[in-house]
Structure 1
Amino acid sequence: MKTIFKIIEKVFLLICITILADRSNFPPKEFTLIGKWKEIESSGSDVNKLFQISIEDGNEITFEKGNIAIDKLKNKGTYETFGDNLHISFPKEEYYYIINRHKTDPEKMYLTPADEYYSILCDEGCAFLYKKIQ
């Protein structure tokens, strides 16, 4: 009887190891701009130190297929990406950013404000952390 339990125990252990090993073979989520993003943090530097500020009710922007952008107020515009450069155009405003993907979470990205030549606007560095919410 003990032998049967040892065999069952070993089979169960082998099944668990196989399942865990197979799970690690799933491809990680890949970054995609398509979706609804919410600003959750602002970061920068004030010469002496870096700072991060949590944002409670941050800006929201939705990037849809067909290069359609929709802001928090439901204004529709367009967007284009060129590598890590992002240009968002609404009827009355245009925005330029440099996209920096989060190192470990493909559901987060940093947007750094830039000018139309994609030169960073903040002398001391600044960025807004966005999290995908849909």
Structure 2
Amino acid sequence: MIIGFTIVLLVVAVAAGLLCVVLGLAGRPPSDLSVGALALLEVLLIAQVVMAVIAPFAGNPPQGDPLEFWVYLVSAALLPLGGAVWALVDRTRWSTVILGVVGLSLAVMIWRMQVIWTTPIPA
């Protein structure tokens, strides 16, 4: 993973998460703003998938467990989709809060992916 892109992902994930939590706690149902914030995060995660496929061929292989990294990455790419489906089915303020929890959870997962990518497996 590229640390600069990881930082961008983290900033967007935390910003989207906090935005959605604040909107939800303020009583706002899911809207273009809240779902769009997670859609932006999804686009960035898809770009991360592409980079993770290309990086080993460019001389930047994962130092940690590749299986663990890919499970995190695929799960992270599916979370915003699940949150958006939830928001479309349950149009209450709590589904907006769930979108925020998804965003904040993704921030943790993104950092964990960075750690897995850069930390060697102990012998």
| TM-score, shorter chain, exceeding 0.5 | no
Richer in strand (by share):
1
Of structures 1 and 2, the larger Rg is shown by 1
In which range does the TM-score fall when normalised by the shorter chain?
Answer: under 0.3
TM-score normalised per structure 2: 0.22
Which structure's relative contact order is higher, taking Cα pairs within 8 Å and 6+ residues apart? 2
